[in-house]
Structure 1
Amino acid sequence: MGPLMLFRRVAVAEAITWVLLLIGMFLKYVTRTTDLGVSIFGMVHGIVFVAYCVVTVLVWVDQRWPAGRGLLALFCAIPPLLTLWFDRRAERRGHLARTWRLREDGTAVRAPERVVRWLLVRPLRGALVGVLTVAALTGVALVVGPPASS
């Protein structure tokens, strides 16, 4: 799977889990019927949010995005559904290739590119590192907890 399809799948998953979390919040805070939706979809959305950020950094390095584009892609995970907009915009403008640049030509010059190339050359190893990274970052987020309410 290339950067275009990987990014698209994670961007769509992030948007879907956002909607499910919003529905859960509506049920909890507006109808006051259940908080089950927030409990379940809050965790699911958190995991997918972290996965989106990890994939975004991977694609950012591989596609040699400038800092502004990479930061915009990360920011788009915060407001609901904005990842869908960014995905379409990046594809239209040619910022998401169908193949991994670093796997195909191997021109890893900078340290981040060498790391990404190492992950891409053996996809199973890369996928395992990705899953472990998402799990570790999700664990850190659970330990830190939600922002303090005032």
Structure 2
Amino acid sequence: MPKLLPVFRIIALLEGVSYILLLFIASPLKWFYNDPTYVGWLGMPHGILFMAYVVIAIFISSDMKWPTRTLWVVLLASVIPFGTFYIDKKYLTKSRRA
């Protein structure tokens, strides 16, 4: 098991939650009520989490022996709502059992 896997799982969870909050709470508040406050609060943390997710995914891909296609799926999941939760279930938890 790669040393960064537990960190990656936490980053994936936080990135997924921040993305959901940004898409479904902060952005509607910004556009429907003209209140950009929450986008400002969530935007920077989400951006940092997104970059950390991508960098760590690339680092652990060789340790996890992911084919290139799997790495692309993991990276693509970061821009799909609820995608990081799917990745955790499909690719990251089964590696703990092995």
Give TM class, smaller chain. 0.7 to 0.9
How big is the alpha-carbon RMSD for the aligned residues of Structure 1 and Structure 2?
Answer: 1.9
2:46 maps to a residue whose letter is H
For 1:80, what is the secondary structure of its paired residue?
coil
**One-letter amino acid of the structure 2 residue matched with residue 64 of structure 1:** K
Matched residue, 2:46: 45
Q: Which has the larger radius of gyration?
A: 1
Structure-1 separation of matches of 2:20 and 2:29: 12
Kindly report which structure 2 residues correspond to 1:79-118, keeping only aligned pairs within 5 A, or say none.
79-91=80-92, 94=94, 96-97=95-96
Q: Deviations over 1:43-70 (max 9, x none)?
A: 1111110000011011102212100000
Higher RCO (CA < 8 A, seq sep 6+): 2
* 1:96-130 Cα distance to aligned partner (Å, 9 max, x none): 358xxxxxxxxxxxxxxxxxxxxxxxxxxxxxxxx
Instruction: Give the TM-score normalised by the residue count of structure 1.
Output: 0.57
- Counterparts of 1:117-132 in structure 2 under 5 Å? none
- Matches of 1:6 and 1:63 in 2, distance apart? 14
Counterparts of 2:22 and 2:86, CA distance in 1:
19
Match of 1:21 in 2: 22
Q: Any stretches of 5+ residues in structure 1 without a counterpart?
A: 99-150
Aligned length: 95
Q: Kindly indicate whether the alpha-carbon contact (under 8 Å) linking 1:27 and 1:35 is maintained by their aligned counterparts in 2.
A: yes
Give identity over the alignment, percent.
31
The 8 Å contact of residues 9 and 92 in structure 2, kept in 1 or not, is answered as no
Letter in 2 for 1:53: V
Higher helix share: 2
**What are the within-5 Å matches in structure 2 for residues 130-149 of structure 1?**
none
The CA deviation string for residues 55-102 of structure 1, in whole angstroms up to 9 with x for no partner, is: 10111022121000001000000011211101110135x4x358xxxx
Give the whole-Å Cα distance in 2 for the aligned partners of 1:68 and 1:16: 25
SS of the residue corresponding to residue 64 of structure 1 reads: coil
Counterpart of 1:5? Answer: 6
Q: CA deviation at 1:33?
A: 4.5
Q: Distance in 2 between matches of 1:28 and 1:57?
A: 33
CA distance in 2, matches of 1:14, 1:39: 16
